[in-house]
Structure 1
Amino acid sequence: MEKFIVSARKYRPQTFDTVVGQEHITTTLKNAIKNNHLAHAFLFCGPRGVGKTTCARILAKTINCENLQPDGEACNVCHSCVSFNNGTSMNIHELDAASNNSVDDIRALVEQVRFAPQAGKYKVYIIDEVHMLSSSAFNAFLKTLEEPPPYAIFILATTEKHKILPTILSRCQIFDFKRITLQDTVNHLAGIAKKEDIKAQETALQLIAQKSEGCMRDALSILDKIVSFTDGDVTYENTIEHLNILDADYYFKLFDCMLAQDLAGAMLLFDDINKKGFEGDMVLNGFAEFLRNLLICKDERVAGLLEVVESFKKRYAEAAKSVDAAYIISALNLLNEAEIGFRAARNKRLHVELALIKLCYLSQALAITANASNFDKKKVVEATKAVAFRVLKPIAAPLQKAPSAETKVVAKPEAKLVIETPVPKPVAQPMVEEQKPEYKPAQTAAKPAATKTKLSSLDALRNKIAAENGGQTVADKPLEEAALKEAWKKFIERLKESKRPAWQSYELGELVIKDEACFEVIVHNKINEKFIELERKEAGEFLQGELCNRTLQFTITLIEPPKDETIIEAPLTAKDQYFKLIEQYPIVKELKDRLKLELDY
């Protein structure tokens, strides 16, 4: 039986052209080899599994090739290339700095550098995971790295460039490797599957590439596992099952529940996900990634950042059209906070369910927040609104101008006193509501000596108009309890229809009539008092119209219920208990004195 070799080793690149996704590195190295512009020290840095050590080995083999190709590639036929491929080359030395990181290991390496190569041009020293070297080892390596022999070339590889001393970085030619793109990984996996006679769906390979996060070694390892799991038939369904990935269909269903505010559907969907063995943090993280993809679909300029299975791209685009970007950003913020607090939560499931509840009612919360500012502004305007003037009907007959500015007292047959005051000439058109009247200086009227009756100028004007119209006056109706309560209920219904919260306070108010044009509203807490005061102006105008009383007014009286002042006896202290005891039993004090006891109260 032939020995199995994993794909990461079996299909490891042997030339620069077979390196995947690092064309900017391989092109530079090939040109340097062709033009004989090789540096004495290289530093390859980048994420794991992207080809750093592989490129270091290809470079070491190529510079020692006896029959170098015109394009800068090794021939793989000469003695040097064959010995390298077989692992027997004496000109290439690899050191794992993770396990050989002491000063003695570096000193042994420096001792080897002193000897020239027996065959070939260069001796290449590849130090992997160089960031694991100790500070003393770095310092011991500095002089040799700065001025090596002409035949020695050092290639350092690391995943954590920031941990390397600046003195080392300044002595090396630095090459930054990048993550392998999703499409490059899919193409490479498809080529290997074709060589191995593996039936692999493109959606499954896209899922593997997405899971590997730009690491080719991880992608090949995942492919080997799934091939063993499925016996050579790699499909989207068994790939999801093997990798323990939550299908995007669940996220689309959860998103639909959010938009429809279907909390029950979202909770049942999460229960189904939980029964399949997926942890809550995986759901939060996956849904956040789903919303991030929706946000990307909102703008065509960043459509290239969408790394999802090809069959889902159209579905993502359609879902993105049904929601605003502001809504997605708010949901992402909620998910981020929930994911941060997940680890500290005791009840993990409840923590995730609370996040789903917030997401389901997020649109309603955003609407309330948006309307809150407008509501506050409206209240401020109403609070400072000028008092509206009542429309006065035009008078049919013009009034006669008073002969003098002094007030005249005219006796009527009914033995009533009517005081005439100077009245400005009326205008034929009625006054418009809320229009400010033209200001005129008031004229002082002489006080009549024959009577103590004092009438306002408005009453005098009414009586004047009544005299000109044949003595007919429209009197205000006095307040009646039944009519007042009926009008009060109508105003409460008006508040209910406009959905203003003050209607409850108006229902709790007690009405007490004081006189014919005034009544009192009694409340028993400050909240009701404030709510009634808030709608007081509108209530007064409404009641004046309903009760046909233009002088109607009402006051608000707060009568708080008496507080329960039940006196609770405090428990006796130890000292009080002692004195009470010796007062009842004096022998206890005598016992204390005889035994010379000291009490600690």
Structure 2
Amino acid sequence: MEKFIVSARKYRPQTFDTVVGQGHITTTLKNAIRNQQLAHAFLFCGPRGVGKTTCARILAKTINCEKPGEDGEACNVCHSCVSFNEGTSLNIHELDAASNNSVDDIRTLVEQVRFAPQAGTYKVYIIDEVHMLSSSAFNAFLKTLEEPPGYAIFILATTEKHKILPTILSRCQIFDFKRITTNDTVDHLEQICTKEEVNADRAALHLIAQKSEGCMRDALSIMDKIVSFTNGTVSYQNTLEHLNILDADYYFRFMESMLAQDLGGAMLLYDDIDRKGFEGDLVLNGFAEFVRNLLVCKDQKVANLLQVVESFKDRYIAMGKQVSVAWLINALNILNEAEIGFKAARNKRLHIELVLIKLSYLQQAIELGAGADDGKKKLVDTAKPVAFRQIPVLGAAPKQAAAKPKAEAPQTGAKLIIEDQPAARPASQAVVPPVQPVKQEQPVSDQPKVKIGGLASIRQQFVGKGLASAGEVIPLEEARLHAAWEAFTQQLRDTKNPASQSFVMARLQINNSAHFTIVTNNNLEQKFIEGERRPLSEYLCKVFNNRALLFVIEVDENVVYQEPTDKPMSSRDKFIAIAEEYPLIRELKDRLRLELDL
């Protein structure tokens, strides 16, 4: 029985032309080999499974080929190529930096670089997962990487370029590998299925390519599992079952139910999906992707972004024509919020059903919202501009002024009314018309018929109200303030508030009849009193019947502290007091030469 080799190893590319989806990399490398313009250090970076290590090995084999082709490819016939294919070449050294990331490993590598190749032109050192090297190892590698011998070429491969030191990046030619497209992955899988004589549907291979997310190694591994699972036949249904993917037909049926506002049909359809064991977040994510594809179908410019199975494209386009863009955008917002809150929801099924209810009646909500907007627009359109009175021109003739119509009643909302009242003049002066003075009427507040603006009306409501109606204001006095302060301090003591001690130590200074200062001894006391500012302010305002009462808290750190009179006496103090009262005790101590432990 022949030993089984996984497809990822069996069909690993051996030449640049067989590398999938990295034409910009392979073309550059072949031109550099053909023109003999090879750099001494390369850095291959990109996602996993896209061909970084494979291209490094092909480059190492090609530059040592004894008879390279005109297209820059290795011949695969010479002694160097054969030894490389068999894994016995001495000119190629691979180092896994994930497990050899210490300074000693790099020093060993640097020691090997000193020896020239016995056969061939170059010695190639491939360091995979180079971002795993420690900072010390990177620093030990810097000098050799910058000025290696002419026969040494370093190829570094990594999936996380941002973790590599800038001093390393500046010494390398950087090649960024891209994810392999879905179409390239499908074409490559079809070629392998043809060689392996596996019956595979293109729709199934398309699902595998989508699941791999641009990683060819993952795609080949998935296909190997499905081939083993189905005994050599890769069908669409078997692939859905093996990859635990919900068929797109369910999403089309969901959409038909929601457009018809058939909530019952949508609930029954989700029950069927739930019975098959699909998690709710998978349904939300799949339906959001389905709605996104419908939104892409609405615009021909971005139709190439539609990455679905070929047999479903026409169906997507037809469904996209039935749904409005507003519905799709609102549905995406609902699904996105539901997917974010799914983990926090206790009742997962109810969470999904609420989303179905919102989506089923989303079209009705959009229509109601559009109707409300139209109503608001009509109200704005029917609004009339404010009518202003024409003010007569100063110095106009009396006949012209008399010919003008009489002033109408002031419009609602007018702030100022100006009327023309000609002054009385003698009859002898009737020939020369004097300038007609313009009289301004009383302020708006005196006109009962004119409405007052919002701010003025609020002020008028509160004129005369406030402190005067509450009673007479009591001015600040030394005795009354200290009495109120003691009463508030006693309240703090009763509630066992630790701030009471700070209130006891504080001193009060009256500045004027409505302002005083609280002087504290340190910042700690200030913070305690500051914490009680609000209840203290309310209490004092109530006591003095003055809502405008103010106080500030200051710190005076230069206060001289006095020892409290009730301080307990030490042993020394007790002995001195007894000796002063009874001198014979001190004489006894001196004669016996006693030393007291004081």
Identity of aligned residues (%): 78
Distance 1:441 1:325, change over 3 A: closer
Counterpart of 2:372 in structure 1: which amino acid? A
Listed one character per residue, the Cα deviations across residues 227-246 of structure 1 (whole Å, up to 9, x for unaligned) are 11111111111111111110
**Matches of 1:377 and 1:69, distance apart in 2:** 75
Q: Which residue of 1 aligns with 2:118?
A: 118
Query: 1:77-116 residue pairs with structure 2 within 5 A?
Result: 77-116=77-116
Cα shift at 1:152: 0.7
Give the equivalent residue in structure 1 for 2:364: 364
- CA distance change for structure 1 residues 381 and 300 in 2, over 3 Å: closer, same or farther? closer
Listed one character per residue, the Cα deviations across residues 399-427 of structure 1 (whole Å, up to 9, x for unaligned) are xxxxxxxxxxxxxxxxxxxxxxxxxxxxx
2:533 is matched with none
Deviation at 1:368, TM superposition (A): 2.0
Q: Shift in Å at residue 372 of structure 1?
A: 2.3
Matches within 5 A, 1:174-573: 174-378=174-378
Helix, strand or coil for the counterpart of 1:321?
helix
Structure 1 CA distance, aligned partners of 2:407 and 2:22?
Answer: 93
What is the match of residue 39 of structure 2?
39
In the TM superposition, what is the alpha-carbon distance from 1:383 to its structure 2 partner?
Answer: 9.0
> Structure 1: how far apart are the matches of 2:378 and 2:215?
58
1:382/1:215 Cα in 2 relative to 1: closer, same or farther (>3 Å)?
Answer: same
Q: Could you tell me how far apart the structure 2 residues matched to 1:348 and 1:145 are?
A: 56
CA distance in 2, matches of 1:385, 1:63: 84
Q: Residues 13-28 of structure 1 correspond to what in structure 2 (within 5 A)?
A: 13-28=13-28
CA–CA separation in structure 2 for the residues paired with 1:357 and 1:315: 25
Distance in 2 (CA, whole Å) between partners of 1:268 and 1:126 is 57
**1:43 match: secondary structure:** strand
Distance 2:290 2:97 in 1: 40
Segments of 5+ residues of structure 1 without an aligned counterpart are 387-437, 443-574, 576-601
Amino acid aligned to 1:261: Q
Give the letter for the 2:131 counterpart.
H
Runs of 4+ in 1 over 6 A off after TM superposition: 380-386, 438-442
Q: In the TM superposition, what is the alpha-carbon distance from 1:275 to its structure 2 partner?
A: 0.9
- 1:157 is aligned to 157
Superimposed CA distance per residue, residues 402-459 of structure 1 (whole angstroms, 9 cap, x where no aligned partner):
xxxxxxxxxxxxxxxxxxxxxxxxxxxxxxxxxxxx97689xxxxxxxxxxxxxxxxx
Equivalents in 1 of 2:280, 2:53: separation in Å? 38
Q: Secondary structure at the match of 1:342?
A: coil
| In 1, Cα distance between equivalents of 2:57 and 2:256 | 52
1:384 deviates by 7.6
Q: Give distance in 2, aligned partners of 1:263 and 1:124.
A: 65
Q: Deviation digits for residues 486-526 of structure 1, max 9, x if unmatched?
A: xxxxxxxxxxxxxxxxxxxxxxxxxxxxxxxxxxxxxxxxx
Q: Supply the AA of the counterpart residue of 2:51.
A: G
Equivalences, count: 392
How big is the shift at 1:320? 0.5
Cα shift at 1:348: 1.6
Tell me the equivalent position of 2:29: 29
**Aligned-partner SS, 1:250:** helix
Distance in 1 separating the partners of 2:28 and 2:385: 77
Distance 1:440 1:274, change over 3 A: same
Change (3 A) 1:380 1:10: closer
TM-score (norm 1): 0.63
- 1:59 alignment partner in structure 2: 59
Q: CA deviation at 1:258?
A: 1.5
Label 1:385 to 1:264 Cα distance change in 2 as closer, same or farther (>3 A): farther
Distance 1:353 1:170 in 2: 55
Q: Does 1:168 align with 2:168?
A: yes
Cα displacement string for residues 242-269 of structure 1 (whole angstroms, at most 9, x for unaligned residues): 1111000000011111211111111111
Q: Please say if 1:5 is aligned against 2:9.
A: no
Q: Distance in 2 between matches of 1:124 and 1:339?
A: 49
2:505 corresponding residue in structure 1: none
Task: Report the aligned-residue RMSD.
Answer: 2.0
SS in structure 2 of the partner of residue 95 of structure 1: strand
For residue 268 of structure 1, give the secondary structure of its aligned residue in structure 2. Answer: helix
SS in 1 for 2:341: helix
- Distance between the aligned counterparts of 1:153 and 1:351, measured in 2? 58
| Change in 2 beyond 3 A, CA 1:378/1:17 | closer
Deviations 1:303-323 (A, max 9, x none): 111111000000000001011
Partner of 1:140: 140
Q: Using the TM superposition, give the Cα deviation of residue 370 of structure 1 relative to its aligned residue in structure 2, in angstroms.
A: 2.1
- Once the two structures are TM-superposed, the CA of residue 159 in structure 1 deviates from its matched residue by 1.1
* Bigger Cα displacement from structure 2, 119-128 vs 340-349: 340-349
* CA distance 1:206–1:440, change in 2 (3 Å): same
